[in-house]
């Protein structure tokens, strides 16, 4: 019986491959191990070997076509053999795969997707469900006649997606909880919903990478001690580490415009202004008011701005303008016993800095172990916009600035 | 409410009798409806009950019967006319289509034609091509007519009473094979509104919309499918005009799959209308399989009993169609 040649899955993230070149044509003989085609994925060309020996009976996709992984792209079998209709093995429906299995040899491969002008066969109900979940029909494997996508195929696709997320059995848990009558439940609405949607969007759209580093805060602590009375006298407020970190980030960003960029609709904007959002906890969730032109503000002004916005955020008195237009975000959990965490990027910004607590830790200095007030910085960045090295360069300079705050004056 | 086991024909006779007692304008006319009791015995006993003035035997002229009914209706009577076989409606159609259906509109509502045309339709009795047709869709096409197709004794009585009370001409199709079917029916007068479908069986997997005799075949299919874990919902529109679109759309939105089955020839049959109503509606977005339409073959009904059966949908056809919508079974 004819065997399928599948689009290979050559990496964890590979979803589709583009057929670059068929090295064997229909009717030609192949031996297991022969290179039969070239596939391109993730900018890399890969040669694909035949697993079967026989005749190339049918090539289903032409050169240049993009095909989902594990999809049959050709058949190899005995010369003159009838090719059965391909059915994608489905993990979800034993019944259906069995039914189509039986039919395989009877229905010849005549039409595939290309015959419908690249359109997917799907029922209205399946289309509606796919629309609601922002799914492309081409991503979904149909189990109906001629590969028609039914509602259950879309559901299975969605379920598979959920399975790959860490929140397995989330719904089951929610159901169990629901059965407990004394449990308080409330709908996900308002700020909770917006945060949820935006975080989900960010994590699904932006490939996150987080870099961690430690800062010796001795000098920054000294600087704060010196500034405390001066600023308190001037504006009546006590300068915090958050503001020193904000200032350091602002000044450092000047030298790293890519870290201050925003990615919108496939275009990267290099922002001339450095407007930094500060994550502030709120009884209903989280707000990120934006402090404008951070690099140009003096420490007193910055403290005043930052504290004013944070208070307005906590009291729910921010105006929409104060929440928009950020080019970078700082999230400080240093007031808690948190050493480090991996923050989620606030799209369309490129990066976010997570700040942990300052804690005395043994550090090797000139072959001696000494205790230093250390603080962890975690920089998450969007790998679509910047790569690891420039992000690392930014983090390095930021650490250096905080360890030698005189840099802030340069 | 006191009930009595009544056959379909007894329920129809009961409805006529109750209305004739209640309203002296109601009378019956038709061929051999007197002592003989009509071609299928529906009016048996009525001439003894009401006398020959109100149970009027007519000459063998469907055109004449229909014309007399239209005329008497225009003068304020409420005639119930019987055609021996619905196939003969061809002869009465000018009176029905060009007169009964039009007059109320053409005279701006000054006149009305409150008449009921009762007539048996359908195959299964070995009556061959000229006495076995299901032609209801012709009448459903004509604005100004209402079209009723009861599938049970209970429905027949309640619908006929509503039809007699309606101020418009109503074509009331009875099925020959249903006349003997019995079920408990309230003895008193009750009404089933025209335009209200019946959910004959609730189900979750596939909506089967069936008319007349096909309702029973669908219910039989439901029993067999139930054993395989398939729950079909059987909907009987009961009246083709007006059609209860709401009930159909709600059911399809629930099940996402539809089988429509009628005895009449599938080509240009009423199933096409129902299918269109569904895809034009909100239910479109819920469809998860192509709509399956079952109807009679495009042939004159054969005299040979085996061939006669094969000319119209049977229980196994319904079962297979249901499974096709679910992509199960042999015919997938």
A121 touches chain B (CB under 8 A): no
CB pairs under 8 A between A and B: 35
Nearest chain A alpha carbon to B325: A144
Domain spans in chain B, listed from the N-terminal domain onward: 3-186, 198-325
Q: How far does B331 lie from chain A, in Å, by closest CA?
A: 11
Here the contacts of B56-62 (C-beta below 8 Å, separation 24 or greater) are B56/B27, B56/B28, B56/B29, B56/B30, B57/B29, B57/B30, B57/B31, B57/B32, B57/B33, B58/B29, B58/B30, B58/B31, B59/B31, B60/B31, B61/B91, B62/B88, B62/B89, B62/B91, B62/B92
| A100's tokens | 């189509």
Here the tokens at position B17 are: 């009798």
Question: What pLDDT score was predicted for residue B142?
Answer: 98
Instruction: For residues A60 and B72, give the distance between their C-alpha atoms in angstroms, rounded to a whole number.
Output: 73
What token pair was written down for B304?
């040979």
Mean pLDDT of chain B: 96
Residue B98, pLDDT above cutoff 80: yes
Q: For chain A, say whether B1 makes contact (Cβ under 8 Å).
A: no
In degrees rounded to 5, what are phi and psi of residue B274?
A: -65, -45
Helix ranges (DSSP H) in chain B:
8-22, 46-50, 62-74, 89-93, 103-106, 136-140, 153-165, 213-227, 245-255, 270-280, 305-310, 315-325
Which residues share a beta bridge with B120? B174
- B3-186 and B198-325 share one fold: yes
**Picking from A6-20, A28-42, A272-286, A330-344, which range would have the lowest pLDDT averaged per residue?**
A6-20
Task: Give the model confidence (pLDDT) of A138-159 as tens digits.
Answer: 888 888 888 889 998 998 888 8
Among A101-110, B30-39, B225-234, B237-246, the range scoring the smallest mean pLDDT is A101-110
The domain defined by B198-325 folds into Rossmann fold (3.40.50)
Kindly tell me if the per-residue pLDDT of A55 is higher than 80: yes
Q: Does residue A266 come out as left (phi exceeding 0), alpha (psi in the -120 to 50 range) or beta? A: left
Average pLDDT score over residue span B284-300? 95
List of chain A residues whose C-beta atoms are within 8 Å of the C-beta of residue B332: 99, 103, 145
Residues of chain A in contact with residue B286, where contact means CB-CB under 8 angstroms, are 124-125, 128
Is A282 an active-site residue?
Answer: no
CB contact, 8 Å: A150 with chain B? yes
B53 has pLDDT over 90 = yes
Q: Does A408 have pLDDT greater than 90?
A: no
Residue A172: the pLDDT is 53
Measured in angstroms, the CA of A130 and the nearest CA of chain B are apart by 11
Q: Give yes or no for a contact between B38 and B83, defined as CB atoms under 8 angstroms apart.
A: no
Q: What is the pLDDT of residue B18?
A: 98
How sure is the predictor about B266, in pLDDT bands with cuts at 50, 70 and 90? very high
* Cα nearest neighbour of B257 on chain A: A125
pLDDT recorded at residue B292: 97
Confidence band, pLDDT 50/70/90 cuts, at residue B226: very high
Tell me which of A93-107, B27-41, B116-130 is least confident.
A93-107
Using the Cβ of A98 and the Cβ atoms of chain B, whether some distance falls under 8 Å is answered with: no
CB atoms B287 and A124 under 8 Å: yes
Cβ pair B259, B168 in contact under 8 A: no
pTM of the model: 0.55
B31: pLDDT confidence band, cut at 50, 70 and 90?
A: very high
In this complex, the residue of B285, B328, B332 whose CB is nearest that of residue A128 is B285
B288 CB neighbours in chain A (<8 A) are: 123-126, 150-152
Q: Which pLDDT score, from 0 to 100, does residue A181 have?
A: 59
Q: Provide the pLDDT for residue A162.
A: 61
Contact B285 A143 (CB under 8 A): no
CB contact under 8 A, A128 and B286: yes
A186, two tokens: 């409330």
Give the list of residues 6+ apart from residue B71 with CB closer than 8 angstroms, or none.
none
| Residues of B known to be catalytic | 62, 131
Token output for B110: 């000054």
Chain A residues touching residue B284 (CB < 8 angstroms): 124
Residues whose CB is less than 8 angstroms from the CB of residue A358 and which lie 6 or more positions away in sequence, other chains included: A217, A221, A241, A334, A373, A374, A375
Report d(CA A331, CA B87) in Å as an integer.
83
Strand boundaries in A241-367, DSSP class E? 261-264, 267-270, 276-278, 280-282, 285-287, 290-291, 328-332, 351-365
Higher model confidence: residue A323 or residue B90? Answer: B90
Better-scored residue on pLDDT, A344 or A192: A344
Paired with A46 in beta bridges are A39
For an interface test with B, give the residue of A97, A101, A103, A125 to mutate (most B CBs within 10 A).
A125
At A197, the pLDDT band (50, 70, 90 cuts) reads: confident
Neighboring chain B residues of A152 at a CB cutoff of 8 Å: 288
d(CA B255, CA B249): 10
pLDDT for position A168: 41
Q: What does chain B come to in residues? A: 332
From residue B152, give the alpha-carbon distance in Å to each of A265, B144, B320. 63, 25, 25
Residue-wise pLDDT for A368-404, tens only, equals: 999 999 999 999 999 999 999 999 999 999 999 999 9
For residue A180, the model assigns a pLDDT of: 57
Structural domains of chain A, ranges and CATH numbers in brackets: 1-83 (2.40.50.100), 111-185 (4.10.320.10), 192-409 (3.30.559.10)
Inspect the interface and report whether the beta carbons of A99 and B332 lie closer than 8 Å: yes
Fold of domain B3-186: Rossmann fold (3.40.50)
Higher-pLDDT residue of B96 and A281 is B96
Asked if the model's pLDDT at residue B268 lies above 50, the reply is yes
Considering only CA atoms, which of B186, B118, B190 is closest in space to residue B161? Answer: B190
Calpha distance B248→B274 (Å, rounded): 9
Q: Which residue of the set A163, A387, A400, A404 is catalytic?
A: A387
**Which residues in chain A have their CB less than 8 angstroms from residue B331's CB?**
none
Residues A147 and A137 sit within 8 Å (Cβ to Cβ): no
Q: Which of A69-73, B179-183, B202-206 has the lowest mean pLDDT?
A: A69-73
With a cut of 80, say whether residue A107 has pLDDT above it.
no
CA-to-CA distance for A83 and A102, rounded, in angstroms? 14
Sign, CA dihedral B302-B307-B309-B310, equals: negative
Cβ under 8 Å to A: B residues 242-301: 256, 284-289
Contacts of A132 in chain B (CB under 8 A): none
pLDDT at A251: 94
Which tokens is A287 given? 């707000």
B316 touches chain A (CB under 8 A): no
What's the pLDDT band for B265 if we cut at 50, 70, 90?
very high
Least confident of A184-188, B57-61, B65-69, B124-128: A184-188
Per the CB < 8 Å rule, is B288 touching A128? no
* Comparison of pLDDT for A407 and A176, the residue scoring more: A407
Quote the mean pLDDT of chain A.
82
Q: What was the pLDDT predicted at B196?
A: 98
Render pLDDT for B202-217 as a digit per residue (tens, 0 to 9).
999 999 999 999 999 9
A345-354 confidence digits (pLDDT tens): 998 899 999 9
């Amino acid at each position: 019986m004819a065997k399928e040649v599948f689009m290979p899955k050559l990496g964890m993230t590979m979803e589709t491959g583009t057929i670059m070149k068929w090295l064997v044509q229909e009717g030609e003989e192949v031996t297991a191990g022969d290179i039969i085609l070239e596939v391109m994925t993730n900018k890399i060309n890969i040669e694909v070997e035949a697993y079967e020996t026989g005749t190339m009976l049918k090539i289903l996709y032409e050169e240049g076509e993009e095909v989902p992984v594990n999809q049959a792209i050709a058949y190899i079998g005995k010369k003159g053999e009838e090719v059965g209709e391909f059915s994608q093995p489905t993990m979800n429906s034993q019944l259906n795969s069995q039914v189509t299995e039986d039919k395989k040899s009877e229905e010849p491969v005549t039409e595939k997707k290309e015959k419908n002008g690249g359109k997917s066969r799907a029922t209205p109900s399946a289309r509606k469900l796919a629309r609601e979940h922002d799914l492309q029909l081409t991503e979904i494997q149909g189990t109906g006649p001629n590969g028609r996508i039914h509602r259950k195929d879309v559901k299975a696709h969605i379920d598979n997606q959920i399975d790959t997320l860490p929140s397995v059995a989330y719904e089951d848990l929610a159901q169990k909880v629901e059965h407990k009558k004394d449990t308080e439940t409330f709908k996900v609405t308002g700020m909770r919903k917006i945060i949820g949607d935006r975080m989900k969007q960010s994590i699904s759209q932006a490939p996150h990478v987080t870099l961690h580093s430690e800062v010796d805060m001795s000098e920054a602590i000294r600087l704060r001690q010196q500034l405390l009375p001066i600023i308190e006298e001037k504006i009546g407020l006590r300068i915090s580490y958050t503001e020193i970190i904000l200032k350091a980030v602002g000044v450092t960003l000047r030298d790293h415009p890519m870290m201050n960029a925003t990615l919108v609709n496939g275009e990267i904007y290099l922002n001339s202004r450095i407007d930094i959002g500060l994550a502030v906890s709120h009884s209903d969730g989280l707000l990120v008011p934006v402090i404008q032109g951070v690099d140009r503000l003096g420490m007193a002004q910055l403290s005043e701005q930052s504290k004013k916005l944070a208070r307005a955020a906590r009291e729910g008195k921010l105006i929409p303008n104060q929440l928009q237009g950020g080019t970078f975000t700082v999230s400080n959990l240093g007031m808690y016993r948190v050493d480090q965490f991996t923050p989620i990027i606030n799209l369309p910004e490129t990066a976010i800095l997570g700040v942990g607590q300052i804690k005395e830790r043994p550090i090797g200095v000139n072959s001696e172990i000494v205790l230093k007030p250390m603080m962890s910085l975690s920089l998450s960045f969007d790998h679509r916009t910047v790569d690891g090295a420039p992000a690392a360069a930014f983090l390095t300079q930021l650490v250096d600035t905080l360890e030698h705050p005189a840099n802030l004056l340069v | 409410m006191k009930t009595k086991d009544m056959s379909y024909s007894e329920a129809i006779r009961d409805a006529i009798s109750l209305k004739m007692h209640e309203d002296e304008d109601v009378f019956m006319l038709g061929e051999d409806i007197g002592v003989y009791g009509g071609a299928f015995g529906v009016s048996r006993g009525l001439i003894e009950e009401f006398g020959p003035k109100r149970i009027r035997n007519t000459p063998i002229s469907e055109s004449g019967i229909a014309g007399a009914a239209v005329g008497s209706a225009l003068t304020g009577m409420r005639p119930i006319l019987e055609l021996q076989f619905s196939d003969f409606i061809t002869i009465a159609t000018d009176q029905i289509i060009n007169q009964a259906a039009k007059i109320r509109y053409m005279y701006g509502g000054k006149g009305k034609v409150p008449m009921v045309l009762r007539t048996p339709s359908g195959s299964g009795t070995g009556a061959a091509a000229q006495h076995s047709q299901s032609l209801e869709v012709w009448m459903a096409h004509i604005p100004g007519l209402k079209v009723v197709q009861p599938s049970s004794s209970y429905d027949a009585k309640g619908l006929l009473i509503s039809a007699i009370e309606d101020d418009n001409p109503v074509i009331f199709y009875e099925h020959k094979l249903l006349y003997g079917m019995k079920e408990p029916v309230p003895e008193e007068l009750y009404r089933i509104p025209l335009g209200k479908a019946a959910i004959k069986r609730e189900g979750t997997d596939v909506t089967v919309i069936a008319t007349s005799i096909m309702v029973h075949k669908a219910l039989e299919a439901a029993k067999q499918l139930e054993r395989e874990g398939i729950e079909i919902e059987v909907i009987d529109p009961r009246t083709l005009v007006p059609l209860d679109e709401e009930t159909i759309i709600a059911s399809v939105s629930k099940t996402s799959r539809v089988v429509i089955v009628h005895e009449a020839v599938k080509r240009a049959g009423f199933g096409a209308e129902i299918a269109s109503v569904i895809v034009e509606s909100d239910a479109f977005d819920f469809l998860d399989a192509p709509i399956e339409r079952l109807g009679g073959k495009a042939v004159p009904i054969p005299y040979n009993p085996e061939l006669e059966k094969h000319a119209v949908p049977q229980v196994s056809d319904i079962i297979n169609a249901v499974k096709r919508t679910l992509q199960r079974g042999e015919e997938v």
